[in-house]
Amino acid sequence: MTDLLAKDNVLRSLPYLRRYARALAGTRAAGDGLVAAALAQVDMAQAVEDSEQHTIELFRRVTDAAASSVAGKTSPEGSLSLQERQILLLTSLENFPVDSAGAIMGVSGTEAVQLLTSAKERLRTNAQTDVLIIEDEPVIALDIAGLVASCGHRVVGVAAGEAEAVAMAREKRPGLILADINLRHGGDGQRAVAEIHKDSTVPVIFITAYPERLLTGAINEPAFLITKPFDPTRLAITTYQAVSGGLPFK
């Protein structure tokens, strides 16, 4: 029974472990590699009476795997540190309370609060870029544009369909694309991005109400994914990770 409980909790947590790891690492492949390394260390026979605590343990293992992957390396001057990236993603993208994020990272609640405060301050001054929005609902597009501007970015275009998105991307050459998955008249944000990527490597953040559908481990899934509705901090840290390349340690 313990094995079954543990496996059930892993399966429930897996999509969100992938989302966190991909956003932290900067690519789908690297993020999924962190998850695989973390799960290889999980003992399915361990007691899981507290499923919330078990989830925290799973995220802790992914966080530790990320730290191990950059051991001995340094981040570029002026960029966010690994811990700053982690606590922003854990609290804003994965909605952990700050004390739970601290437990995942192995720091005290007081240290976690201080780290989160300083990380948010530093985030406001980093990684500004030109953004193309692909969204077919005018009101939602306007809301996203406002959030993008509040993060210090410049909106260079809003496209409502696939063909328009491709044309705008080729004309404007944005530094980042925010793309809805489902567009009107059967349109598809992923198809638009695939066409754009034929002659561009611009990073993309996909926006969806159903993130678990795009976090199964398939090879064509996105690295960066946020769920509607979202707030400025969630957009800001995901944007920062996308523009900076995740973990650019050397």
Residues in the chain: 250
Average pLDDT over residues 80-98: 93
pLDDT in tens, 10-69: 778 889 999 999 999 998 999 999 999 998 887 665 545 557 888 899 999 999 999 888
Is 90 exceeded by the pLDDT of residue 96?
yes
* 141, 118 contact by CB (below 8 A): no
Identify which of 81, 194, 84, 189 has the alpha carbon closest to the alpha carbon of residue 144.
189
Nearest to residue 224, comparing CAs of 192, 197, 246, 209?
Answer: 246
User: From the centroid of its chain, how far is CA 71?
Assistant: 22
pLDDT confidence of residue 44: 60
Sign, Cα dihedral of 190, 196, 200, 205: negative
- pLDDT per residue over 145-196, tens digit each? 998 888 888 999 999 989 999 999 999 999 999 998 888 776 788 889 999 9
Return the pLDDT at 186: 61
Confidence band of 1 (pLDDT split at 50, 70, 90): very low
What pLDDT score was predicted for residue 218? 76
Domains of the chain: 2-123 (1.20.140.160), 130-243 (3.40.50.2300)
Helix (H) or strand (E) holding 176: strand 176-180
The pLDDT tens digits of the residues spanning 101-131 come to: 999 999 999 999 999 999 988 887 766 789 9
Res 142: pLDDT: 92
Q: Once rounded to an integer, what is the mean pLDDT over residues 190-211?
A: 89
Q: Model-level pTM?
A: 0.84
DSSP structural state of residue 90: I
User: Residues 210-231: what's their mean pLDDT?
Assistant: 81
